[in-house]
Structure 1
Amino acid sequence: MKILIPEYIDPRSLQRLRAEHEVVFDSTLWERRADLVSSARDAHAIIVRARTQVKGELLDAMEYCRAVGRLGVGLDNIDVQTCQARGIEIIPAIGGNARSVAEYVVTCALMLLRYSHYSVGGALADGNWIRPAIPEGREVAGRTIGLVGFGSIGQLTGRLASRLDMRVVAHDPSLRELPANDFECQLLPLDDLLASSDIVSLHLPLTPATRGLIDASRLALMQPDAVLVNAARGGIVDEKALADALAQRRLRAAALDVFDEEPLPGGTALSGTPNLLLTPHIAGVTADSESRVGELVSDRILALLKSIA
Structure 2
Amino acid sequence: MAKVFVSTFPFCRTSKVALDILVSNGHEVMVNPLGRKMKPIEVSESARDFDALIAGTEDLTDLVTNSKSIKLISRVGVGLDSVPLGLCKEKGIAVAYTPDAVSPAVSELAVCLIVDAMRKVTYADREIRKGEWTRPYGERIGGATVGILGFGRIGKRVASHLLGYLPKEILVCDLIEMKDSIRLLSDVASNLYQVNRDLGKNWDATTIKQVDLDSLLKMSDAITIHVPLTAQTKNLLNYKKMSLMKSSAVLINTARGGIVNENDLYKVLQENLISAAAMDVFEEEPYKGPLSTLENVILTQHMGSCSNDCREDMEREASENVVGFFNGGRWERVV
TM-score, length-normalised on structure 1?
0.88
Structure 2 equivalent of residue 194 of structure 1: 217
Where do residues 1-309 of structure 1 align in structure 2 (5 Å cutoff)? 1-2=1-2, 3-7=4-8, 8-10=10-12, 11-28=16-33, 30=38, 33=41, 36-37=44-45, 39-41=47-49, 43-51=50-58, 53-56=59-62, 58-115=63-120, 119-121=124-126, 123-124=127-128, 128-132=132-136, 136-166=137-167, 167-173=169-175, 175-180=176-181, 182-184=184-186, 185-265=208-288, 268-307=289-328
Distance 1:38 1:289, change over 3 A: closer
Secondary structure of the residue aligned to 2:284 is: coil
Cα RMSD of the aligned pairs, angstroms, is 2.3
Distance (whole Å) between structure 2 residues aligned to residue 225 and residue 149 of structure 1: 22
Distance (whole Å) between structure 1 residues aligned to residue 43 and residue 283 of structure 2: 27
Contact 2:74–2:95 (CA<8 Å) still a contact in 1?
A: yes
Contact 2:21–2:320 (CA<8 Å) still a contact in 1?
A: no
Return the offset for 1:14. Answer: 0.7
Structure 1 gaps, min length 5: none
Distance (whole Å) between structure 2 residues aligned to residue 298 and residue 137 of structure 1: 44
Contact 1:92–1:297 (CA<8 Å) still a contact in 2?
A: yes
Return the offset for 1:275. Answer: 0.9
Return the offset for 1:212. Answer: 1.1
Structure 2 gaps, min length 5: 187-207, 330-335
What letter is aligned with 1:186?
K
Distance (whole Å) between structure 2 residues aligned to residue 271 and residue 112 of structure 1: 15
Distance (whole Å) between structure 2 residues aligned to residue 149 and residue 35 of structure 1: 30
Distance (whole Å) between structure 2 residues aligned to residue 36 and residue 5 of structure 1: 12
Distance 1:80 1:286, change over 3 A: same
Return the offset for 1:98. Answer: 0.8
TM-score, length-normalised on structure 2?
0.81
Distance (whole Å) between structure 1 residues aligned to residue 245 and residue 307 of structure 2: 31
Q: How many residues align?
A: 298
Distance (whole Å) between structure 1 residues aligned to residue 42 and residue 242 of structure 2: 42
Asked which structure has the greater RCO (Cα within 8 Å, sep 6+), the reply is 2
Secondary structure of the residue aligned to 1:119 is: helix
Distance 1:36 1:213, change over 3 A: closer
Distance (whole Å) between structure 2 residues aligned to residue 128 and residue 97 of structure 1: 38
Residues 111-169 of structure 1: per-residue CA shift (max 9 Å, x gap): 11110785324x5378643235xxx3211112121111111011111111112212221
% same residue: 27
Contact 1:5–1:23 (CA<8 Å) still a contact in 2?
A: no
